[in-house]
Structure 1
């Protein structure tokens, strides 16, 4: 876990601008904006698509936008709630997708110490990776840091 950098704060602001510009308001369905940073510094955004069947979260829309724009190596991602709610941690589905496709990505989220950047591997202790060719893989301790606790 690490304190935020200038780039992290810029990414949060980018996500906030997306959700503020596109929200349907307090009772609307577009409640989360997200931004992902490519390793080369480019930022891509997305907003959630709410549906009672479980539409895509803002993080997944941002990842899709980045991928469609040529992004492949992502360093950091953040989701920001509308109505001034600020950064929110990813749901379990998003965590697993980030872990499977981008195991080196960092996630900005609120912690007991305030907003921090956390390695996705620290959010998924003892997780098993999945890939399209082989399915679920056995647990591999080499994927994780020496610590798997947010308290570290």
Structure 2
């Protein structure tokens, strides 16, 4: 798949990078995520690593956003600690993002540059969680 480049939300990338630099310490928190809501607000989160499969930063971001009344994230990015830069979502996060925010974009690093791509492009032929869509999703 060769998506058309979209403008990258540099402020969002910097918000995630700032959280990664200042809040990710040790092995428990190694990734930060930031999401921009429809109304322009930025929500941030960090992962909760655990050997049993603790949640990724993108998943924590979904919960943190809901706790702040944000149910419509438009753009999402994850950044690694120790200046690792933008990190693409894992397969589980791609599926969850497709289920929760199919119209959102995710900022990834492609060919050495940040690129905003639609969530469905990250999971072609993805499974659609029909039960979640029956109630109209989260607005």
TM-score, with length taken from structure 2: 0.87
Q: Give the Å deviation of 1:64.
A: 0.8
Assess, with a 3 A threshold, how the Cα gap between structure 1 residues 35 and 133 changes in structure 2: closer, same or farther: closer
The residue that corresponds to 2:121 in the other structure is: 122
The residue that corresponds to 1:149 in the other structure is: none
CA distance in 2, matches of 1:131, 1:79: 27
**Paired residues, what number?**
131
The residue that corresponds to 1:16 in the other structure is: 17
- Structure 2 stretches of 5 or more lacking a match? 135-139
The residue that corresponds to 2:44 in the other structure is: 45
Task: Give secondary structure in 2 for the equivalent of 1:52.
Answer: coil
- CA RMSD of the aligned region, Å? 1.7
The structure whose Rg is larger is: 1
Q: Give the Å deviation of 1:3.
A: 4.2
The residue that corresponds to 2:83 in the other structure is: 84
CA distance in 2, matches of 1:42, 1:92: 26
CA distance in 1, matches of 2:133, 2:81: 38
- Structure 1 stretches of 5 or more lacking a match? 136-152
1:37–1:77 CA contact under 8 A, matched in 2: yes
CA distance in 1, matches of 2:70, 2:133: 24
Moved segments of 4+, more than 3 Å: 131-135
TM-score, with length taken from structure 1: 0.80
Q: Give the Å deviation of 1:4.
A: 3.3
Assess, with a 3 A threshold, how the Cα gap between structure 1 residues 121 and 133 changes in structure 2: closer, same or farther: closer
Residues 118-141 of structure 1: per-residue CA shift (max 9 Å, x gap):
001111111120044689xxxxxx
Task: Give secondary structure in 1 for the equivalent of 2:69.
Answer: coil
CA distance in 1, matches of 2:88, 2:132: 29
Of the two structures, which has the highest relative contact order with CA contacts closer than 8 Å and spacing of 6 or more?
2
